[in-house]
Amino acid sequence: MPDIKIKQAVILAGGEGTRLLPLTKTIPKPMIEFYGKPFVQNLIELLKKEGIEEIVFLAGYLHEKIQEYFGDGSGFGLSIKYSVGDVSFDTGKRLKFAEGMLDKHFLLLYCDNYLPLNLSKLVEFYNQKQLLVSCLIYSNEDGFTKSNIKINEEGVVTLYDKKRDSQELSGVDIGFFIVNKQIVDNMPEDNISFQEIILKLVNMKQLAGIITDYRYCGLSKMERIPIVEKFLKPKKIIFLDRDGVINKRPPKADYVKKWEEFEFIPGSIEAIFYLKKKGYTLYLISNQPGIARGMMTKEDLDSVHKNMKEKLLEGGASIDGIYCCLHGWDDGCKCRKPKPGMFYMAANEHNIDLSKTIYIGDDERDKVAGEAAGIKTYLVTEEKNLLNVVKEVVL
Ligand SMILES: [Mg+2]
């Protein structure tokens, strides 16, 4: 089968949102506003960026509020259509009701979960797996919520537990599904939920799941609202690599073990000062395997950073947080670049939308790690130091 491209996104947006009363008394859940924008607009902008050309809202409760705001989508750079069903419709029925409007393969999502989706990665996975549905699963390693899903080594979901009380679960589905329309054609007309369809797919071994460590931001209940507020709050964030960007790179297989070995690259203090003046929050993202290799201690590293911060302060500059991978080359950790783990750690800790951040490194591995996390990544070179890069990419 030739590779499938996904151009249509179908958004489940018809529910009454009773868990969010009184916010949902006069507007439907997706229209709850944050920083002057309905929640779902963040999703629409994201989908447009990811190459989606058409959105179908599966609307119901107070559907006219969504239609009035988004219209035919032309103001948002894509086409928007509406399938308006009865408020009593459950999610599965809502999808079946829109059958005539659906592409052969489409992205299905809930209106109340946001995460900086990498659609091409999910589509690539769908094309590889060749199952009826592929979905995105949050690893939930930090116990952010209760898990509801278990997958096997091949990425096939083997258990879906609505009650979320089974012991063997290891992740939670976050509602971004690539769907083969066949499942809609074969659905009954009854008023069923999409979860029931998922259960059937799991029994048929037709649901594949790809895991992300990126925590989503969900508008499911009142307690979540402050997190959503923090996550969607506009922020200016830049991640910086350390060695080769701020200070001179130590020789290969050696490390900056003490302050005397730390040498600022010309322009780096000025660059950090410049970024702070522009209102950026700065996080350092650095591999420091010297500790795992027994060449230095964690105390040595902390002492280098303490001195570095003091020196930066003298130049009026500062760093807001430091993330270091202390593992060795072969430890198989998730944080050592080129893996993106440290970015997810920072994102989950500070509620950051990584797709709206920048990373500046000096190594091909920085590029791989940054891009894997959906971050616009730039490299300094012999000719272009941090200050040059910063002046180029930051206005
Ligand atoms: Mg480096």
Domains held by the chain: number: 2
Domain boundary among 214, 232, 250: 232
Decide: helix, strand or coil at residue 135: strand
Tokens of 206: 């037709």
Q: How confident is the model at residue 1 (pLDDT cuts 50, 70, 90)?
A: low
Beta-carbon count within 10 A of 354 CB? 21
Same domain, 181 and 212: yes
How many angstroms is it from 361 CA to the middle of ligand 1? 6
How many angstroms is it from 117 CA to the middle of ligand 1? 27
Q: What is the pLDDT of residues 142-182, one digit of tens each?
A: 777 888 889 999 999 999 887 887 777 888 888 899 999 99
> Is-catalytic flag, 241?
yes
Identify the pLDDT of residue 142.
77
How many angstroms is it from 287 CA to the middle of ligand 1? 8
Same domain, 34 and 17: yes
How many angstroms is it from 119 CA to the middle of ligand 1? 29
How many angstroms is it from 363 CA to the middle of ligand 1? 6
% the chain with pLDDT above 70: 100
How many angstroms is it from 237 CA to the middle of ligand 1? 19
- Please indicate, yes or no, if residue 1 is contained in any of the structural domains: no
How many angstroms is it from 199 CA to the middle of ligand 1? 46
Q: Which amino acid is at 73?
A: G
Same domain, 303 and 164: no
- Please indicate, yes or no, if residue 184 is contained in any of the structural domains: yes
Same domain, 327 and 367: yes
Mean pLDDT computed over 65-94: 97
Q: Could you tell me which residue, 315 or 134, shows the higher pLDDT? A: 134
Asked if 239 and 360 count as a contact pair (C-beta separation under 8 A), the reply is yes
Identify the pLDDT of residue 170.
80
Q: What is the pLDDT of residues 212-240, one digit of tens each?
A: 888 888 888 898 899 999 999 999 999 99
Q: What is the pLDDT of residues 24-42, one digit of tens each?
A: 999 999 999 999 999 999 9
- Please indicate, yes or no, if residue 57 is contained in any of the structural domains: yes
- Please indicate, yes or no, if residue 214 is contained in any of the structural domains: yes
Backbone angles phi, psi at 194, to 5 degrees: -65, -25
Same domain, 86 and 177: yes
Average pLDDT for the chain: 93
Give yes or no for residue 84 having a pLDDT over 90: yes
Same domain, 249 and 325: yes
How many angstroms is it from 349 CA to the middle of ligand 1? 23
User: DSSP letter string over 308-322?
Assistant: HHHHHHHTT---SEE
Give yes or no for residue 141 having a pLDDT over 90: no
Identify the pLDDT of residue 352.
94
Identify the pLDDT of residue 115.
87
- Please indicate, yes or no, if residue 3 is contained in any of the structural domains: no
- Please indicate, yes or no, if residue 83 is contained in any of the structural domains: yes
Q: What is the pLDDT of residues 347-371, one digit of tens each?
A: 999 999 999 999 999 999 999 999 9
Q: What is the pLDDT of residues 384-393, one digit of tens each?
A: 999 999 999 9
% the chain with pLDDT above 90: 81
How many angstroms is it from 306 CA to the middle of ligand 1? 19
Tokens of 339: 């893996």
Same domain, 277 and 351: yes
Going by their DSSP bridges, the two strands 172-180 and 105-110 should be labelled as antiparallel
Asked if 155 and 125 count as a contact pair (C-beta separation under 8 A), the reply is yes
Q: Which of 173, 213, 241, 362 is catalytic?
A: 241
pTM > 0.75: yes
Identify the pLDDT of residue 61.
95
Identify the pLDDT of residue 163.
81
Distance between CA atoms of 395 and 388, rounded to whole angstroms?
12
Mean pLDDT computed over 246-271: 95
How many angstroms is it from 138 CA to the middle of ligand 1? 29
Ion ligand 1: residues, Cβ under 5 Å = 241, 243-244, 362-363
Distance between CA atoms of 330 and 258, rounded to whole angstroms?
24
Domain boundary among 176, 202, 232: 232
> Is-catalytic flag, 243?
yes
Identify the pLDDT of residue 267.
94
What's the CATH code of the domain at 147?
Answer: 3.90.550.10
Identify the pLDDT of residue 327.
94
How far, CA to CA in Å, does 201 sit from each of 131, 134, 258, 374? 9, 10, 56, 30
Same domain, 201 and 303: no
Asked if 313 and 269 count as a contact pair (C-beta separation under 8 A), the reply is no
What's the CATH code of the domain at 385?
Answer: 3.40.50.1000
- Please indicate, yes or no, if residue 2 is contained in any of the structural domains: no
Give yes or no for residue 319 having a pLDDT over 70: yes
Same domain, 346 and 210: no
Beta-carbon count within 10 A of 252 CB? 5
Q: Which of 105-109, 131-135, 327-331, 339-343 has the weakest average pLDDT?
A: 327-331
- Please indicate, yes or no, if residue 368 is contained in any of the structural domains: yes
Decide: helix, strand or coil at residue 7: coil
Measuring CA to CA, which residue among 380, 82, 360 is closest to residue 239? 360
Give yes or no for residue 133 having a pLDDT over 70: yes
Same domain, 298 and 279: yes
Query: Residue 265 belongs to what domain range?
Result: 237-393
Q: Which of 90, 112, 173, 243 is catalytic?
A: 243
Same domain, 64 and 181: yes
Domain boundary among 210, 232, 254: 232
Same domain, 170 and 74: yes
